[in-house]
Copies of this chain bind each other. A is one copy, B any other.
Amino acid sequence: MAIFSKGAETMGDLYTSDAKIYPPGGDTISGNTAIGEFWKGAYGMGIKAAKLDTVEAEPAGDQIVEVGNYTLYGDGNAELDKGKYIVVWKQDGEAWKLHRDIWNTSMPGQ
């Protein structure tokens, strides 16, 4: 569950080259190019913005494990989905990037 506010075009750049995401309703997606395409597709399906609230971010060795809550918004700020995520961040040169990214909805019946 990444940061739409930075724009769908550059989403893949936020991930390590060997990153993996685990989208609900689909298989694991590997590599920041494929991940960038996935987010472009999600953005094309009507997601306009995402709010991400970090609940905890614990440094562990050379990585940070972040747990948080997300809310997705569509046109007119309509709430499309909300849920929670775990992201494992890794340092890539000087930049921290998303390395593992899993999330699920908190909405019942989905």
Contact = CB atoms under 8 A, between A and B. Distances in A.
Interface of A: 20, 22-28, 58-63, 65, 67, 83-86, 88, 100, 102-110
Describe A's contact surface by its main secondary structure.
strand
Given A65-B65, A88-B65, A104-B104, A25 B110 contact: yes
A1 B46 CA distance: 30
Contacts of A108: 25-26
Given A60-B62, A63-B60, A65-B65, A25 B86 contact: no
A103 to B, nearest CB: 7
A26 B83 CA distance: 8
19 contacts: A22-B67, A22-B84, A22-B86, A22-B104, A24-B83, A24-B105, A25-B107, A25-B108, A25-B110, A26-B108, A28-B106, A58-B63, A59-B61, A60-B61, A60-B62, A65-B88, A85-B102, A102-B103, A103-B104
